[in-house]
Structure 1
């Protein structure tokens, strides 16, 4: 009897060891979850928000989403192409701890990143005075995909909490109020950029923007890698008029593409801006053309990239209202 009990005990120990060896490692099919995001930073953006950034995780079959946690609570989920987010609705004068986890396209959730902390400043009642404009901005290219920027500090009647970096009209980066320099990455070779900086205080008042600094990254980029693909255009008739129906696959970029420009017959016809979570795999859009049949049109589309520039145009398609497919 003792021998049987000993064998059972040994078997249980072996099973426990096997379980501990496989937990958190490869799945039964040999695939592993993605690794932990690295380079995670957190900086207060105002008395009620924190800007969290991280370095993209490289894995197969690719990252579907990143999950951002405040302590044990998931507070944000962003597409796998994104690598920063603003966590809002926080309390002033409070320290928060953040981690980031990656979930791949097969649904596997990776381990949490190293924990980072940020403290929101205290709120100031009835603060309507914006910081002064930051001083002269300067910059230079650092290789073909990054630039280094610096500027003179702004002043505020309380404190400057953060600086927002804009490329064109798009905010692409944010740093703490004690920083007056940064490196912006994820840019395109052979591209002309225009950067400005604005200061923000704890009450979310924004300063005027600096004068722009214009920088060109070395190298070449024909735009093909940043153009929407699988672009299709058809028409349909409804309520006595013709409408243009478009579909495309968004460009694969290091960030989210939330704005598109549709060009009709060689001119910008309309802009499309997605709120919330922009489509990642397939996008569609339809707009009014007119009541007449037999009218031909040329159409193509491009997206505004995370670095604030326009990407390449899609292939051009032609349609004729009332034509049979």
Structure 2
């Protein structure tokens, strides 16, 4: 805890005002320090009982909103500078400050996150414009908890906020079984490119210095497709949009001999959602590197090692369901053995609470990346968006569809952007409002249109300023039981955005139907929660709590229970981590089993559509607790990549759509479908 100080609270608006309103030297190219204790202090005091401060002490704000520290900074000429505050925050919550210069807002709710203790000091920086002469620089506590302990202000050259340009399209050469050379066009930057990140899909594969435009990639797997792109970084951490993607396949390699088939496959410890498999080791001329548990071509588990173990517990199985599984062995050259002899078993009966998927029916075909689904209030039809065509359709319960229009100003990013989420106003019968999240020329937008039952009109932009990128665009929209509109935004391939509370990226937003911050938002802005990488699914449970599904990077995908003002950790954390001030997920999956998109809740059970995992996850909520039970997977590999799952109003049913026509699915346009799933 912050050390208590015996100042009289009755001092009110001006608890302490120091007489020393010092005018420091004009900021030049060298940084100038301004001690907080030498400024005007309202509703705070100067103390020196925590170690690590500079000067004579630091300012400790009272635990109320509105207290401030004001420093007087003289500039020889007008221009932009950086304001860097050194502070300590020993709480577990953000102690944000509103920064103004000469009364004009510079940053509302500038984040001062926990530092790990009152003796631990960190910095937060923002750019500001000074006039020639004396400037009043004020930092005002924006929350009821007051501000952090403030040590000093450093005025220096402005920080760099401009990202590099996009690198040129890459090409591959010198391809072997285990390596290739990637070459790309140079990016430019106002301060210089310091590094290039080389990505396979969205995961970082390698890094190259900023003064080079090629990189030999080694340690690759033979006969493997790599989908490569490049992004540039500067010294300030600004990241460019990624280059176009090139697909390169490594050579088969000299080792063409597969391992022998595993033998003696046996099953034991069969439970409701899991079973234990064991087998005898395979042999290989070079060495076995992995075993895969399969049903047909669908992989249920992968075991690696040198050598890999000869047994594993397969989890995520559906209850009261029959399975026939085999095991294959792989070597380093990606040679795969014949399958073992199979084993068959049936998992234990289901719990009656919550129900399970009992039937699936195709209701509509011929789609190309159906992205968002939102039912109209009567529950008899839904609006469905197509991401890359920007079309909006009305779809009846029997699957009959009619195009009702397109969304103006929508553009593609060549990756995950385009026309994404859709939501129907709870008062649609009276106002006919519907809402879309889409990519536009300048970034991602949230827009409102009028839908009169037959067509779309009256396009109105509600929210702009959401940075777009090829990937990590978020895009889900949902109305909460409070009547406000919630939206997910990705970090636009820049993890720093997720921790910048002044950025709309890497967040869940909450707004009125006019696009204004909803009353009760934690910082008075659109931001409802932060620290998200690429949040996708949104759904509210029977208690009005908000659940969210989120793409991880290379390790863990997440299911989160969202609370206002919480920080969900990205990029510091991926999955669960023990970091003060960051909120852990309620469930995680390896990215190969999930890559989640939409979620929906039926009978207190969360259903999560998985793209890369090609399955529908069932995750029961434990009653009214904030925990979940054991996840189970349905339709593994049966229908391909699954994107959106939506509850059918008034029925224990879901609509489930595929996304096989996207860049990762590589199926032709028109190959996607919408299914009806019955829960019983």
Normalised to the residue count of structure 1, the TM-score between the two structures is 0.45
Normalised to the residue count of structure 2, the TM-score between the two structures is 0.24
Question: Higher relative contact order at CA 8 Å, sep ≥6: structure 1 or structure 2?
Answer: 1
